[in-house]
Amino acid sequence: MARFSRVVLAGAATGLVLVVFGRTVQTQPQRTTAAVVPKSIDIPSLDLEAPLIKLGLTKNGEVELPPYDKPGVAGWYKHSAVPGEKGASVIIGHVDTKTEPAVFYKLRQLRKGQVVRVERSDGKVAEYKVDAVEQVHKDRFPATKVYVEDGLKLVTCGGRFDYARNEYVDNVIVYASPA
C-alpha cells in the first residue's frame, strides 16, 4: 500500500487539536465500560466485512496505522469514542498494497444514506448512515472535523499516487451519523 504518511501527519495535527482542546478528545469519549472496544466493521453496500484492531499513537505522537502486511484489517483509533457512544469515532484502513486492494479499497464508492455497522465487544452493533464522502489533499486534512466532531469517520488514502513520495496525495474520508 502507499504510505499513509499524510494520515500520520494528520495524527500530528490531531495531537495539536488535543492540546488546543485540553485533551478532551483523548480523555473524555463516552464509553459504557472501559473494556468495550469495536471488533469489526460491516459495510453491506461494499460487501465489506473486516476485523478491527486498536490503533494508538506512535512515539512521535502520530496516529498508528494498521499493519501493511494485513491488508484486510482496519483499525480503530483508541483515543476516539467507541462506535455507538457520543463523540468522534475514527476507523482507519489502507486503500491498497503494492500487490492488491486493501480493506478500504472501495470506500470512495460509498454514498449518502448507505449503512455502516460496527460490532462491539459487548455484543452491541452501532449502526451509522453515511452523511458525506470527501476527498481532500493531505495537506488540508480536516483534523478537527475528523477527530473532534461527533460521528463515525472512516479514513483511507485516495487520489493520485505520487511515485516520488511513494504515497497518495489525498485522503478519502467518510462521515456518518448514528442511524
Superfamily of domain 5-178 in the CATH hierarchy: Sortase (2.40.260.10)
Q: CA 105: distance to chain centroid?
A: 13
Dist. CA 174–CA 113, nearest whole Å? 11
Contacts of 175 (CB under 8 A, 6+ apart): 130, 131, 132, 133, 134, 145, 151, 152, 153
Contacts of 16 (CB under 8 A, 6+ apart): 143
Grid cell, residue 81, equals 469514542
* Residues, the chain: 179
* Cβ 76 vs Cβ 91: under 8 Å: yes
Rg (CA), the chain: 15
Q: Which of 177, 176, 175, 173 is closest to 138 using CA atoms?
A: 173
Tell me how far apart the terminal alpha carbons of the chain are, to the nearest angstrom.
32
pLDDT recorded at residue 34:
60
Dist. CA 64–CA 40, nearest whole Å? 18
Local mean pLDDT, 10-residue blocks, the chain (179 residues): 43 39 37 77 98 96 93 97 97 95 98 98 98 97 96 97 95 97
Contacts of 26 (CB under 8 A, 6+ apart): 18, 79
pTM score? 0.83
